[in-house]
Amino acid sequence: MIHPDEARQTRITVNGVTFDVPAGRSVAAALLAVGVRKLRESPRASGPRGAFCMMGVCQECVVHIDGCLRQACMVPVTPGLSITLGAGTLGAGTT
């Protein structure tokens, strides 16, 4: 059985490419649903980083959403979101 929100699609833009994603999901879950796994690179080792904990603890899914640095797992998908992958880390520049 499909949840009613899963049947609805919402259009978002990721690095200039438009995707129709299931409504009612977090940005991280929506990106995974369309095959986007790498969200940024590790600041030290340049290794790929993506959604990990899916509950806002690890900050591995940090992306720019409508120009603001946000955790993708904590932001619900809304129509017209503009997402830029490859963001830094929350709190970058602090010790």
One-letter amino acid at 2 equals: I
Instruction: Compare 90 and 70 and report the one with higher pLDDT.
Output: 70
Q: Supply the pLDDT for residue 8.
A: 87
Contact 77/23 with Cβ under 8 angstroms?
Answer: yes
Contact 31/43 with Cβ under 8 angstroms?
Answer: no
Q: What ranges do the domains of the chain cover?
A: 4-84
Question: pLDDT tens digit string along 2-15?
Answer: 556 567 899 999 99
Whole-angstrom distance, CA of residue 74 vs CA of residue 21: 16
Whole-angstrom distance, CA of residue 16 vs CA of residue 46: 23
Query: Residue 55 has what DSSP assignment?
Result: S
Question: pLDDT tens digit string along 47-70?
Answer: 899 999 999 999 899 999 999 999
Question: Per the CATH hierarchy, to which homologous superfamily does domain 4-84 belong?
Answer: Beta-grasp domain (3.10.20.30)
Contact 11/81 with Cβ under 8 angstroms?
Answer: no
